[in-house]
Amino acid sequence: MRILLLPAFLFFSLSLVAQRAEWACKMKIQDEAIRFTLSRSETGDYFILNGTEKVETERKAIREDSVELALSIFDARLVFPKNPGKQFAGWYRKGDAKVPSSGLRFEAEELSAAPPFNAPEYRLLKSRWPLEFLEGEKVNDKGILVLNQQGERLEGSILTETGDYRFLNGKLSGRKAFLQTFDGGHAWFFRMEFSEDGKSLKGEFLYSQNGKQAFRGMRNDAAELAGGFSKPELKEKLHFTGSGSDGKNVSEKDFEGKAMVIQVMGSWCPNCLDETRFLVEEYTARPKGIEFVALAFERKNDAAYAAERIATVKRKLSVPYPILWGGNANKDSASKALPAAGGIKAFPTTLFVKKNGEVLKVHSGFSGPATGEAYDAWRKEFRLLLKELEID
């Protein structure tokens, strides 16, 4: 299929005739459907509404019969008809997936009015539910489901020691409910049922065309996560090497005499991008003598691909500090790249390093803006750690 390469003025002229429109979309995932809103502004720009989250897009190509949108910062695309009508179908595809040619099909129907808002039969309001994710009867992961209920609408997130599940939204119907997210990088669906006495729940997590995991939980509104901090037992001083935008290696020697905040991240990781936005905000207010550096581990072990993904992150998030390519995206590669951390358990991980190269603390995971109080608490903790680095 021939691709039309359009100059900037032609994109502009196309946008002049665009009309504002919104489509209710349903994307098939196993035997369920993830729902999101695709919106087009008067200027012809598209974005996705994922509950309360607005996911920006970027037009990448216009073909003879279709348009292709890049989603947020991820290596992911939405493809649908160039001139969408009241109803149409399209595809969601990820370039860094194990099978890049595969994808999820979605159907869209133009929104004419907001759906009716009904009162639920079952009351949850604000609640917390410690969860256990199961393989058979074996627990292989844990988290805390944080729910906010308004009528039949549900919003919240799942907090874990290694990060959160970002902005979840859904609906309550009787004692059954679902939560979902489509942020451009992930399409997740949680279906669940609450017990009659309101003390427990059980459900299934659908995370791909075939992936499925059972979970269960008990209500505990006082539940909290552990801090996520560790202090390496190794007395090894900080050492790292990463490739800069010019292809040259950069190491800790280039920051000699300065305290550092080292971010271990990847462009494919939503929590990492949430943390990057946070660090950009904190960068200008940081104490003098403290530098921020990110080491990115990408899903393709290819320098050109990594450079493109890192450049996209820096451009879209206006990142003022260096982002270096550290290697392939797995915990073993990251652990080898930063031996002083004593092992990387999650993406993202943040290292707080003294001026003498000693690692003060390591923090695994990141509680993003979807977690509310946890996010605010982390900002306070982060600033206290920077003051501690400044004193040392």
Spell out the domain ranges in the chain.
3-110, 127-218, 229-391
Instruction: Give 3-state DSSP helix, strand, coil % of the chain, rounded to 5.
Output: 20, 45, 40
Please give the DSSP secondary-structure letter assigned to residue 30. Answer: T
- Which amino acid is residue 180, in one-letter code? Q
Helix 270-283 vs helix 373-391: crossing angle, to nearest 10: 50
- C-beta separation of 183 from 169 below 8 A: no
Inter-CA distances, 170 with 35, 178, 253, Å: 9, 5, 49
CATH fold match for the domains 3-110 and 229-391:
no
- Looking at residue 236, its pLDDT comes to 74
Task: Name the CA radius of gyration of the chain, rounded.
Answer: 22
Best CATH choice for the domain 229-391 from the list 3.10.250.10, 3.40.30.10, 3.30.70.250, 3.90.25.10: 3.40.30.10
CATH architecture entry for 3-110: Beta Barrel (2.40)
List the Cα angle 269/275/278 in 5-degree steps: 150
List the Cα angle 154/56/296 in 5-degree steps: 100
CA 243 – CA 295 distance, rounded (Å)? 9
Which residues lie across from 171 on neighbouring strands?
Answer: 153, 178
CA 158 – CA 312 distance, rounded (Å)? 28
- Which amino acid is residue 383, in one-letter code? R
CA 309 – CA 311 distance, rounded (Å)? 5
- Backbone phi, psi, residue 137, to 5°: -105, 5
Q: Which residues of 190-214 are buried (b: 16+ CB within 10 A; e: fewer)?
A: bbbebeeeeeebebbbbeeeeeeee
pLDDT tens across 57-80, in order? 999 988 889 999 999 999 999 999
Which residues lie across from 179 on neighbouring strands?
Answer: 170, 190
Spell out, as residue ranges, where the chain has pLDDT lower than 70. Answer: 1-18, 98-102, 113-123, 227, 231-235
pLDDT tens across 209-247, in order? 888 999 999 999 999 887 677 766 656 788 999 999 888
Structure-token pair, residue 33? 């459907």
Which residues lie across from 35 on neighbouring strands?
Answer: 26
Element (H, E) at 144: strand 138-150
Please give the DSSP secondary-structure letter assigned to residue 52. Answer: T
- Looking at residue 16, its pLDDT comes to 43
Cβ-in-10-Å burial (0-12, 13-18, 19+) of 297 comes to buried
- Looking at residue 121, its pLDDT comes to 52
- C-beta separation of 109 from 99 below 8 A: no
Other CB atoms within 10 Å distance of the CB of residue 135: 10
CATH architecture entry for 127-218: Beta Barrel (2.40)
- C-beta separation of 318 from 276 below 8 A: no
- Backbone phi, psi, residue 54, to 5°: -105, 120
Torsion sign (Cα): 331, 228, 250, 337 = negative
